[in-house]
Amino acid sequence: MALAVVGGALLSAFFDVLFDRLASPEFVNFIRGKKPEKLLQKMKSQLLVVKVVLADAEKRQITDYTVKERLDVLRDIVYEVDDLLDEFSTEVATQKEVRNSFSRLFKRKKIVSISKLEDIVERLDDILKQKESLDLKDIPVESYQSWKAQPTSLEDGYELTKLPSNMQNLVKLRHLEIYCTLIEEMPKRMGRLNQLQKLDFYIVGKHIENSIKELRGLPNLHGSFTIKHLENVTKGEEALEARIMDKKHIKHLFLEWSIGNDNCIDFQIELDVLSKLQPHRDLQTVSISGYKGTRFPVWVGNIFYRYMTSISLDNCNNCCMLPSMGQLPSLKFLYISDMNSVKTIEAEFYKSEGCSSLIPFPSLELLEIFRMPSWEVWSAFASEAFPVLKYLSIFDCPKLKGDLPNDLPALQRLRIKNCELLVSSFPGAPTLRTLEIRNSNKVAFHEFPHLVEIIEVEGGPMVESMMEAITNIQPSFLQSLTLQNCSSVISFPGDRLSPSLKTLLMSDLKKLKFPMQHKHELIESLSIKNSCETLTSLPLFTFPNLKSLKITYCENMESILILGSESLKSLNSFEIGHCSNFVSFPREGLSAPNLTRFIVYDCEKLKSLPDQMETLLPKMEYLKISNCQQIESFPGGGMPPNLKTVSISNCEKLLSSKAWICCNMITSLNVGGPCDGIKSFPEEDMLLPSLTYLHLFCLVAHAEVLLSIEEIVIYFPFAGHNYWSAALTPMQ
């Protein structure tokens, strides 16, 4: 897949390449047909609309979580479009290779793929509906087209390690997007490109022709800009000549030193270089990574940066103290990580001298502190600090002992992970909604957050204390509870859990018990993993309103219990896997009239599926069975009438019985061997009138293609051709 290798890159760089591929004669011929051509045209129109707001979205994703989430969804969709194009390329190549073996098939079928296009168009519609609500601004298409040079494939771009040596002659060049390349060195005299507005990054070289001084000639740079290999700047005067302070259109600046090469460092020169890289006062985002100095210059955190919304300090291993940043009026996001020499966070962190009247961090909404191996103390400060902080995360700070901020009135999410020495009580957080504490067992409760909706805890003492607190307090708004890694006895009471609890996830609770006399009527989703050493049967009747059930890696689990003919009316998804001793479902069958998904895998002793599936599971649409060698056939009563997708692999006895294909409604069939009992597929007596997708894996060497099938995938890992796939339509 062409785009997968650059998952973190800016999407705007991909669109011209994508349009070129979509317009290729080969693909147009491939997709020929009234319906697919109409879908393709709609998708192109959607992508054009997306493109004009993409620049604004990519800029705002740095500080806006909602935009970032939507951009991640869009990135997935773009990857799928690229996948579709890759599949087309594979089909063209494969047709030539397998023409002799499958000539009959290709004479009867015409290659096309419609379902994927329909799905992509539908999802793009959803994205575009949110354009107005996110207030994304259109960037005129002319600004993209005015600089477009000869088209270059993205594959070539990703492998590109060097730009043309005469690059400096393109004096009218305005946009140079090289984000997703592997360029290791900049061409000489890049400073001559004085009209350049868009340049993703500049790599500082060791020679005068590609040194940092070349940036002096690029006064019109806009948007985001990264300077790499700053270790090659040997004097502060060189950094000053770059005139970073004069580049008022740069809004997001990323300064990077290479990791390593710490020998013979002159700390004063390092400080002088960073001092002279002081940006324009209109800067909104700054990231400093790999800086080798022992302290930060005064411009980092200076109150004059009134538009600064985001700061990231990463891998500045020699710095023993953090800069003062609390006086920045607009700072919303602060990321601190891998500062190996920082031992304390003192009062200077909150405000600098002369700013005593200001509230520290008046606009900060998110604070993340990760991987601080030497950090021991977070000095308490006045209670007015962090008045609007919503998200606080502290990960991998093994020596941290001190207090957390005392009062965080706006905090909504608190995450603490791998801070084993932290003995602080929870801060006062009346608005807390999400609480996550993992392997930080000494953290104590000062006051239980009564509005909390999601709790995730890991580690024996924390699991025990959390269960005790929840049982006693019964928080009214708790909806999801995750408990992990506790070897003590955990028993769930029936009437003393939160009255609002709907989701329960448990992992590595070795002595978990479900007293059968208690019912958990409000729980809708239950997941049990690697737990219940003493529990051999799960009493499902204690969860009468369950919608989703997942049981994995419970080696001693043997069966599921249901009282008489009791029906699980709400259950719509069932999954059990890696339960080596699981042997049976209830004798009466599994009565779940609304179940749509049924998944069983790696249950070595299971011999049969639930009885009477046709009547007890009338709405089942998806069935997956894998690595269950003892299952010989489907039980009596027939298959569920609405079954559409069936996936069976490594179940030789079941495959040999061929009972799994007696359903007229199946549209998608995935079958994997080995299975010596099947010599050809499908056989003449097999009725599959609705089948549109067929995937055969290590199964047969010959396939008779049904007229209804739109797509076939056949895979022989040990044959001459490892992969063959085709999307098909009936002969006209």
* Residue-wise pLDDT tens digits, 119-168: 777 777 776 666 555 555 444 433 333 333 333 333 345 567 788 888 88
473 and 442 together in one domain: no
**689 inside domain:** yes
**Tell me, what's the pLDDT at 443?**
79
3-state secondary structure (DSSP) of residue 86? helix
Alpha-carbon distance values, 628 to 579, 581, 625 (Å) = 11, 12, 7
Residue type, 631: I
Contact 321, 356 (CB under 8 A): no
**Tell me, what's the pLDDT at 108?**
34
**126 inside domain:** yes
**Tell me, what's the pLDDT at 351?**
76
Q: Is 92 left (phi over 0), alpha (psi -120 to 50) or beta?
A: alpha
**617 inside domain:** no
425 and 480 together in one domain: no
Report the C-alpha gap between 223 and 211 in whole angstroms. 22
* Angle in degrees, CA 690, 692, 695, rounded to 5: 125
**Tell me, what's the pLDDT at 74?**
72
349 and 444 together in one domain: yes
430 and 498 together in one domain: no
**461 inside domain:** yes
Give CA torsion, residues 16, 21, 23, 24, to 10 deg. Answer: 140
Report the C-alpha gap between 234 and 185 in whole angstroms. 17
- Give me the residues paired with residue 285 across strands: 252, 310
The DSSP secondary-structure symbol of 536 reads -
- What are phi and psi for residue 19, nearest 5 degrees? -65, -40
CB within 8 A of 498, min separation 6: which ones?
470, 474, 475, 476, 477, 478, 481
The DSSP secondary-structure symbol of 451 reads T
Q: How many C-beta atoms lie closer than 10 Å to residue 88's C-beta?
A: 19
135 and 173 together in one domain: no
Residue 177 structure tokens = 């997007």
**Tell me, what's the pLDDT at 667?**
84
Residue 452 structure tokens = 């909390």
Segments in the chain below pLDDT 70: 1-42, 44-46, 48-72, 75-76, 79, 82-116, 127-159, 261-263, 353-357, 380-383, 426-427, 445-446, 493-496, 516, 564-565, 636-637, 658-664, 675-688, 698-732
Report the C-alpha gap between 638 and 644 in whole angstroms. 15
**DSSP annotation string for 399-442:** T--SPPPSB-TT--EEEEES-TT--PBPPB-TT--EEEEES-TT
Contact 3, 14 (CB under 8 A): yes
CB-based burial label for 60 (10 Å; 0-12, 13-18, 19+): middle
Range of the domain at 498: 457-516
104 and 124 together in one domain: yes
122 and 171 together in one domain: no
**613 inside domain:** no
**Tell me, what's the pLDDT at 100?**
42
**63 inside domain:** yes
Write down which residue in 516, 541, 564 finishes a domain.
Answer: 516
Residue that is written with structure tokens 């069935």 in the block: 623
- Give me the residues paired with residue 124 across strands: none
Q: How many C-beta atoms lie closer than 10 Å to residue 660's C-beta?
A: 21
**Tell me, what's the pLDDT at 548?**
94
Report the C-alpha gap between 288 and 304 in whole angstroms. 18
Report the C-alpha gap between 334 and 623 in whole angstroms. 46
Residue that is written with structure tokens 């009493």 in the block: 539
**Tell me, what's the pLDDT at 129?**
64
**558 inside domain:** no
Q: How many C-beta atoms lie closer than 10 Å to residue 717's C-beta?
A: 8
Q: How many C-beta atoms lie closer than 10 Å to residue 576's C-beta?
A: 23
Contact 357, 384 (CB under 8 A): no
124 and 207 together in one domain: no
39 and 124 together in one domain: yes
Report the C-alpha gap between 454 and 376 in whole angstroms. 29
Write down which residue in 241, 276, 293 finishes a domain.
Answer: 293
278 and 324 together in one domain: no
**Tell me, what's the pLDDT at 95?**
47
Q: Count how many domains the chain has.
A: 5
**Tell me, what's the pLDDT at 551?**
94
**57 inside domain:** yes
21 and 65 together in one domain: yes
Write down which residue in 496, 516, 536 finishes a domain.
Answer: 516
33 and 85 together in one domain: yes
pLDDT tens digits, one per residue of 520-549? 888 999 999 998 888 888 888 888 899 999
**Tell me, what's the pLDDT at 517?**
72
